[in-house]
Amino acid sequence: FFALSESRGELVHDERGRPVGKAVCPLWLINDAYHWRFLASFSSSGVAGANYNPRNKEFYYFNRDTLFIYDTRTGQTRQQLFAERCPVDLRLGTNFIDPGRGQLYAYEVYTENDPASSEEECSVASLDLNTGRWSRESLAHLPMQLHHHGAWFDAEKGQYTLFGGFGNMRYSKSFYAYDLNTHEWSVLGGFGGDSICPRYFSSVGYSR
């Protein structure tokens, strides 16, 4: 057994410091572990969203007109102009990815009472990451804005769940779920255990 935690040279040592092997042309990662290294940058004059696709090992940065892609495997960047603008009027840039279907979903949970806003304003839209085409998914909204909510996506159920956040001068402790098949939001309830206080900036996830 050896930790392989060398920082220089070609010899590798066991936990007692005894040389037990030799590495040929090593690149010791620990030397770069404490330093930031510039890889890429993107910018947008309008509201933008960002996400990571674990299947393709790619980062996405997008606005209503363009998708910027950073490939972590090759270090290459590229951009793709949409044939049609994103149907969702991006205000917060909130989004999630369904890696299995190759879809990125942009959503806005709440729209202010703006006389210029249409009652038919799209609230959820999906981007086919293979074709670069947007599709309208839903017009449904939630009763309040939810800045900095926590969220997770259950690919097996096709369900995206939100928790917490704040808006309209108050915090939220509600769970809302968006169903990819019905294109509707619903309130989740019936939970037991400890009481959860309203909050935002929460880290959340789920266990199968």
Q: What is the pLDDT of residue 148?
A: 96
Residue 118: what pLDDT? Answer: 58
Rounded Cα–Cα distance for residues 181 and 157 (Å): 9
Q: What is the pLDDT of residue 69?
A: 98
pLDDT tens per residue across span 65-119? 999 999 999 999 999 999 999 999 999 999 999 999 999 999 999 987 655 555 6
By CB atoms closer than 10 A (0-12, 13-18, 19+), residue 123 is buried
pLDDT at 187 over 80: yes
Split at pLDDT 50, 70, 90, the class of 202 is confident
Tens digit of each residue's pLDDT (9 = 90 or more) over 11-34:
998 888 899 999 998 888 888 888
pLDDT of amino acid 117: 57
**What is the SS3 assignment for 105-132?**
EEECCCCCCCCCCCCCCCCEEEEECCCC
Residue 135 — pLDDT band, cuts 50, 70, 90? Answer: very high
Q: How high is the pLDDT of residue 131?
A: 96
pLDDT for position 176:
98
pLDDT score recorded for residue 116: 53
Looking at residue 190, what is its pLDDT?
A: 87
Residue 151 backbone phi and psi in degrees, to 5: -160, 155
pTM: 0.84
Dist CA 57 CA 192 (whole Å) = 37
What pLDDT is attached to residue 42? 97
What is the strand order of the sheet 124-128 is part of?
95-98, 103-107, 124-128, 133-138
pLDDT, the chain, mean: 92
Token pair of 145 as six digits = 């804005």
Determine the pLDDT at residue 1: 56
